Amino acid sequence: MAEAQEYTAGEALCRVLNADENALKVDIDNVTLTTEGSDIAIDVAMDKANDSVLIYGNTNKAGSGTSYVPLVDADGHLQVDTLSSALPSGAATAANQATIIGHVDGVETLLTAANVDHAANEALLITIDEDTNAIKVDMAAIEVLITTLDGVQDSALTKLGEIETTNNANQVLLGTIDSDTDAIKTDMAAMEVLLTAANVDHAANEVLLTGIDVDTNAIKVDIAALEVLSTAANVDLAEIEVATEASQAALEKMLYGNALDITAHSSGSTQDLSGTYESLYVGVGGDVNVTMVGTGNFLFKNLASGQLLPIRFTHVINTNTSATSMIALKS
């Protein structure tokens, strides 16, 4: 320890008084003064080896009771008197600990099951990761498609612009149509007036038409009967036409333009006609033997005098021919 310096009484007094000589000056090591407004706080840094502090405990928390110095043992442990050993409600007893252990065991069981589920979840997460990769691929394709759709959308917007231009023109046209429609409405109103008058005439016309319809039905019946008669008449006319044509053909055959005298006789020789003749006139009756176009020689017996025999023949055979004054005829 440093030796104390000797001062005179006056010197010592000057050192401990302040400048106004109304207060002592004191040097305190390891002390910090802090001022906050009118309050002054003193912070003291104590040294365990050189400094000591005496602590008291009061029997009242407000400090109004008796103050005592706390009791410690030789090792410095604080000594505390236990006034009551009863445990508070819900304290950790052996029974409560057993219950807690049971709950912990249950938690461990749940954790074991959770670990199993965790493994399944990991497998599921792997699958999800694979699906996610596939989704990424699909998303890339979708992005390409979206880019294409953007182009289509741009084209559509262009078309919409054109449509809008056309629509504007249509609006102008619709305005004209509206004007025309109003004029048509006016004309329609006039037509309705005319139609009202026409309806009156229409009622009378319906009565007249009913009578006409009755007459028309009667006419239809008559026409049906006429059609039946006409059909029968057409049949008769067809038959008449056939008969007429046949008669005309027969008459045409009976009108001959060429004739040849027949000299063949049983006492003479066979006569070659040098062609086909279509009829034979017999002047004096008897038998005639001729060569037919289709069947060859054929004998016609007992022909009458003045008879016209319509046959097609090419020769008159003398054998068995007794008729005389015969003429061969053809058109």
| 129 within a domain of the structure (yes/no) | no
Please say which residue of 48, 68, 88 terminates a domain. Answer: 68
| Any domain includes 60 | yes
Residue that is last in its domain, among 68, 93, 110 = 68
* One-letter amino acid of 63: G
**Single-letter code of the amino acid located at 109:** T
The answer to whether residue 315 is domain-embedded is yes
Name residue 93's amino acid. Answer: T
280 close to 324: Cβ distance less than 8 angstroms: no
Q: How many CB atoms lie within 10 A of CB 77?
A: 9
Number of domains in the chain: 2
Whole-angstrom distance, CA of residue 220 vs CA of residue 222: 5
Residue 36 lies in a domain: yes
Model confidence band, residue 115 (pLDDT cutoffs 50, 70, 90): confident
**Structural domain for 46, as ranges:** 9-68
Residue 167 lies inside a defined structural domain of this protein: no
Residue 188 forms part of a structural domain: no
Q: What percent of the chain has pLDDT over 70?
A: 80
> Is residue 233 domain-resident?
no
Q: What is the pLDDT of residue 69?
A: 83
- How far is residue 330's CA from residue 278's CA, in Å, rounded to a whole number? 5
pLDDT in tens, 198-223: 787 778 878 888 888 898 898 899 88
- Among 68, 84, 100, which residue terminates a domain? 68
Residue 316 sits in a domain of what CATH number? Answer: 2.60.120
Task: Region of 223 please: left (phi>0), alpha (psi -120 to 50) or beta.
Answer: alpha
Is the pTM for the entire model greater than 0.85? no
Q: Are 326 and 275 a contacting pair, CB within 8 Å?
A: no
In a domain, 162, yes or no: no
Q: Given a cut of 90, is residue 287 above it in pLDDT?
A: yes
